[in-house]
Structures are given as C-alpha cells and as structure tokens.
Structure 1
Amino acid sequence: IGIGASMPAGFLVPLQEAFARTRFVLHREILGRMRRYKNEQEQSLMEEACSRCTEALKAVMKAGSGWIGKTEGAFADALCREMEQRGISEAGALVCAGAHAAVPHYTGKDGIISADACLLVDFGGKYRGYCSDMSRTFYFCGENDKRREFEAVYGIVLAALEAGQGAAVLGGRMEDVDNAARRVIAEAGYGEYFTHRTGHGIGIDTHEEPCAASGDKSVIEPGLAFSVEPGIYLPGKFGIRIEDQIFMTADGAKVLHDYPRNEWLVCW
C-alpha cells in the first residue's frame, strides 16, 4: 500500500498493526516518476498559483514601513488572507524577522518586525490543486554598517539565484543547479552558511522529485518543475533567501514568479 510522506504516525501505525502481512511504501515509489513530469495544463495552473501569490505579497508590502512594530504572525496572517482572497487554498507563510531569519526553518510568530533589520518571507499555497512556493527577503531602512553588510550579502544570494537558474538547461543534471548556486556563495566566503539544498521539485505537493541537490543526477527535461532557493544564514545577525519556481519547457527554463528581486529595501 502506498502512502503519502505526510501521513501522521497516529494513522499509519494502526494500519500497520491491522494489516500485519501488508507492505507499506511511500507512494513516490509508485507515482514519483509520473508526478515529476507536468503537462501544459499543470504548468498553467502552477503559473496562475505563482501569479496570484505574487500579487498577494505586493498587496501586503504596500504597507511598507507600517509593518515596523508588528509581529511576524500579524504579517503572516495578512499575507494568507490576501492569498485566500485571490483563490489560493492551503495558504501558508513562514515570516522571520531579524535574527530569526538566520534559522532556515524557523516557525515562530512572536518576533517583532524592526527598523534596521531584515524580514524573510517564505510563502505559498495551491490554486486548483497545484502549488506555488516563493521566498523574498526585505530590509527595513537604515543607514549604517548593518544595512551595508546586508546589501553585500543580498547581492551574493541574488547572484547565486541567477547562477542556479542559468544552470537549469535541458540535458543538464539537477545537481548542476545546486553546484552553480553553491559555487557563487562558496567563492564569496559564505559556503558554510548555505545549509540546505538549492531546490526541490514542486507540483501537487510543495516538495516532490527531483531535487536541485548534490548527487541528484536526474536529467533536466521538459515538464520538470522545481524551486531555486539559495540562502545565506548568519547566526545572530540575519538570513537571506531568494526563491523562485521554475518550469522546464521545450525551449528551456521559465521562471514563474515575477515579484522584483531587487526591491528589497523598505524605506519611510
């Protein structure tokens, strides 16, 4: 019996006990190859999901510096409402203020959005069953050494994103995307602070196959959809991640998110 990777143990264990002679496997062993290739209709749905989520973030960011003093949870709630109003289901957002952004999988909600500090937003949801997944990192205005350091590191992450996207070529390997992005960050002296894979497949689930990761030798072919999301995380200071979703067409890579990557500075 094939099961999803997110099935709670409270359901799985009783099933295993009730059907002791049955072998349970992750459904990706059965459906993984079918899931990894998307047709034009699936691409269209993911593109629409990305567009609607992008518009939701634009709507929230209109408040600009008005977010200073508000909590991460308040920002996440507002962003999810904007997504839901645009027809996005299962909307969710990880919002990380200041040093919390240095923890790649931070899930708190009580941090305060502050001036002279960053705000990392990783969010998405589904449109008619297909996912969007995007990250942007902002910095609330200030003229000091903290901002200058943030700007320098942001430029490195943006260059890594562009290198990763540039390596997403038909006939290449998924690990090439990871290697290209990681090389930029390592050569800049921040290799030890890039602590996760560069990307993951996406479709019906937020995380599918294949992965833009070292050792994934999957050939890049039309129909693949995956994220490119390099990051640098400096403990106690800040973290920066920029994430876009890519779809591979017969003509090459198509980036599905169009929220500007250079609009990171929020002033008042």
Structure 2
Amino acid sequence: MTIAGAQIVHEKLEAAVKLLEVHNVDTWLILTREGYDPSLPFVIDIETQDTTAILINKSGSHQAIVSKEDYETFKQTEVFSDVITYDTYMDEVFLKVFHILNPKKLALNISLYDHLYDGLSLGLYHWLERLIGSNKLREIEVTSEPILKQLRCVKSKAEIEVVKKAISHTTDIFEEVFGKMEIGMTEKEIGQLFVDRMKMRGVTNGLGKPYDLPLVCIVRCGLAHRNPGDHIVVPGDIVIIDFSLRCKGYVSDIARTCYFLKEGEFEPPEDVQKAFDAVVDAITQSIEALRPGKKGYEVDAVGRACIEAHGYPTIKHSVGHQVGRATHDGGTILGPRKTPPRPQVEGLIQSGEIYAIEPTIIQDCGLPCILVEENVLVTDEGPEVLSKRQLDLITTPYKGVK
C-alpha cells in the first residue's frame, strides 16, 4: 500500500465509523469475490484474490476474513483488529465472527438505483441469507447506500491532494498539446499526443482503457461522445477535447475548446467568440452558485439560465457532476429538475465534494459549439477552482495547409 493510499484508507475508515454512528448501524459488511465491489478502495488499497468478508464496526474495531493467500497483504494494511483466514470455505469462520459481533443493524452494499453502491452480488447475498437465515437477515439488513454515498462523495484531505495532482497533470498536458496541434492533423493524431504524454508521466486515461484516446471532436464532423476519427483539421475548425486522467486511483475531468485560424485571421470570428464568452460566463455563474446546502438542480438552473440568456439552446445534459474515484462519481448531480423527481439532482451539495462544471453550447447545422469544463472543490468558505480556468479561446495560427 502506498503512503498516500494508506492515509486515504485511514481517513475513510475514521469517516465510516462516524457515519455508522450517525445512521445507528452496528456493522457495515462488504462481501466480495476477487475485488468486485466498487467500495473496496475506501477500506483497503489492495486487490483481493478470493472471496473476502470485511466487517467495519461502529466500535472502531474491524475484521477481515480472507483466504490464506490474501492474509499477508491484509495484515500489512494495519487497519484491521483481526485478520482471520479460512481454508476452502469461510462459512464457519464467518458465523463465529458474526455471532460475536451480533449486529442489530447490518449494512449491505445493495442499491436499487446506483451501481456504485450496489457491489454485493446476488450469489453472495443468497450465501449470507442461507448462512444466517432469511428471517434474521431481513430483520437486521439495511442498505449501506447513504453511508457509502457520503464516504465516496465527501473527499478527505488526502483524497483532495491526489485529485489536485491528477488535475495538474491534465492541465499541463493540455498546454503541451496546444503547442503541438496543427492544421492537417487528424482527431486521432491529436488524441495520440495526449496518450504519449500520459505515458511519459506514468498516468492513465480516466475513462475506458488506460491508453484510450480522449474525446477529440472537430465540431463540423459531429459533436458527441464518439471515438476520435480520421477527420482532418482544416482552417476555421472548432475542436473540442474532453480529457479525463487517472492518477493514483483518482481522476480529473477537464474539457477545452480550440479554434484553428484561417489564412489572414488573427482572432476568431465574432460568432465563435460570442459563444465561447457565453460558456465562460455560465461556468463563472455556476461556480459562484456552488455552495454547501444548495440542491443540485438549483446550481444547474443558474448555468442553464445563463446559456439561454445569451440566446443559445438550453443545455442538453447536466451542468455538472462529481469527480473522484470515477469520472462520474455518483452522489448529487447538477442536473435539471424533472417529473418524477430524480434523487440525484435533489441532493444537497456538501463541503468536500469535487464537481466538474460544464454548461455547454451545442447547436446543429455547423453553428459554433463550445465545451469548457472545470473542476471545482466545494468548501465552507466558497468554491475553490482546482483547474487552471480557460478564460480565452485557444487559437492555433494558420501555417498553411499540409
């Protein structure tokens, strides 16, 4: 376990114990096979090899039931009061620990709506049901979703520092790539510039496979979540790049828009500049509204109203979402209110959450489309922008056509 990873685990376990107390839960049980459960990084910074039971207790004394192959790895974490091994099946060992703990409320990773909190497989649930009895399980089980949601969304001090590193790598790579882009390059070639620089830094893509290309879209060729293609940049093109980078298990999510000047141009056309300025204004207003206690839809409404006030179509997606372990990290979303109500946009914004803010202009028929995305930390003192904001439209000079 890395030093940063160990610090994060200790901070998260301290937070988990407090949350168990708040929700009057005695034990949070994580049952997993081969590291399947997405909650694992918050309690151990290692990959499990076999079926594992982790019991996080309100008392602050925690147990892990692991295979003999996993014993040394778990013992080295120094976060468990007991690391207990089993041979072929852990039924007997688990029952012994369970009866000693005798929880009146047992939190399980089950959720009806969000995969990030739904890590318990049906097979292991049936195993637990058979082991302790279906009536007993129904009597004591509760969902861990409210606990895990808080644990995931509200970042600890060590988590915030790692996210900052991911963001710093991202903005540095953007700046380096901007100096290399030229008319005549394809979307794939521009994307490869990002991959080359990720490899140089020992970091990976935050979405998809480790060295997938980021989203690179020449606007006239279609703006969507599509893979970069062989479309070639020509003078007068708007190019949007949406780039998520993973560093030490945490990600950034930042987007930038560029304009490739035509021969004789020294600045972007008025319609392109006007659209860019509208997006920057909407981001500024959305960031100012990002305060603890606000609901997700309230912040979305601010960014959405700003885009519309500038005369552009309403945003086709949410104004923002959380980032952390994942590029879309669950919890409160800065999205529009709909009927029936969506729990995610009704959620309260909290200090310690990190949001990607992206009010976007998307138009049809080749009209200017602009995407700029910034990463912002919520604090009690006000929002803290973690990314280097794009306040000016990036332009690439005309050097002739290849």
Same fold (TM over 0.5): yes
Residues 23-51 of structure 1: per-residue CA shift (max 9 Å, x gap): 9xx99677223101101111111011101
CA 256–146 in structure 1, closer or farther in 2 if over 3 Å, else same:
closer
Give the aligned partner of residue 84 of structure 2: none
Instruction: Provide the alpha-carbon RMSD of the alignment.
Output: 2.9
Q: What displacement does 1:261 show?
A: 2.5
Residues 216-266 of structure 1: per-residue CA shift (max 9 Å, x gap): 132222111111001111223142111001111232211111153314222
Give the aligned partner of residue 251 of structure 1: 381
How far apart are the structure 1 equivalents of 2:229 and 2:175?
21
**Number of equivalences:** 255
Q: What displacement does 1:110 show?
A: 1.6
- Partner SS, residue 251 of structure 2: strand
Give the aligned partner of residue 191 of structure 2: 76
Give the aligned partner of residue 199 of structure 1: 320
How far apart are the structure 2 equivalents of 1:19 and 1:40?
34
TM-score, normalised by the number of residues in structure 2: 0.58
Task: State the percentage of identical aligned residues.
Answer: 24
8 Å Cα contact 2:283/2:303 also seen in 1: yes
Residue type matched to 1:37 in 2? V
8 Å Cα contact 1:56/1:86 also seen in 2: no
Give the aligned partner of residue 232 of structure 1: 361
Residue type matched to 2:319 in 1? T
Give the aligned partner of residue 214 of structure 2: 93
CA 121–198 in structure 1, closer or farther in 2 if over 3 Å, else same:
same
8 Å Cα contact 1:104/1:233 also seen in 2: no
How far apart are the structure 2 equivalents of 1:150 and 1:166?
25
How far apart are the structure 2 equivalents of 1:266 and 1:108?
19
Of structures 1 and 2, the one with the larger relative CO (CA 8 A, separation 6+) is: 1
Moved more, 144-153 or 54-63: 144-153
TM-score, normalised by the number of residues in structure 1: 0.84
- Where does structure 1 lack aligned partners over 5 or more consecutive residues? none
8 Å Cα contact 1:36/1:201 also seen in 2: yes
How far apart are the structure 1 equivalents of 2:292 and 2:151?
19
Residue type matched to 1:232 in 2? I
How far apart are the structure 2 equivalents of 1:31 and 1:128?
20
Q: Are residues 1:242 and 2:372 paired?
A: yes
Aligned 1:44-123 pairs, distance under 5 A: 44-64=161-181, 67-90=182-205, 92-100=213-221, 102-123=222-243
1:140 maps to which of 260, 266, 290: 260
- Partner SS, residue 271 of structure 2: helix
Larger fraction in strand: 1
Q: What displacement does 1:207 show?
A: 0.4
Give the structure with higher Rg (CA). 2
CA 263–146 in structure 1, closer or farther in 2 if over 3 Å, else same:
closer
8 Å Cα contact 1:223/1:247 also seen in 2: yes
8 Å Cα contact 2:322/2:332 also seen in 1: yes
8 Å Cα contact 2:322/2:353 also seen in 1: yes
- Where does structure 2 lack aligned partners over 5 or more consecutive residues? 1-30, 39-113, 129-142, 206-210, 338-344
8 Å Cα contact 1:136/1:261 also seen in 2: no
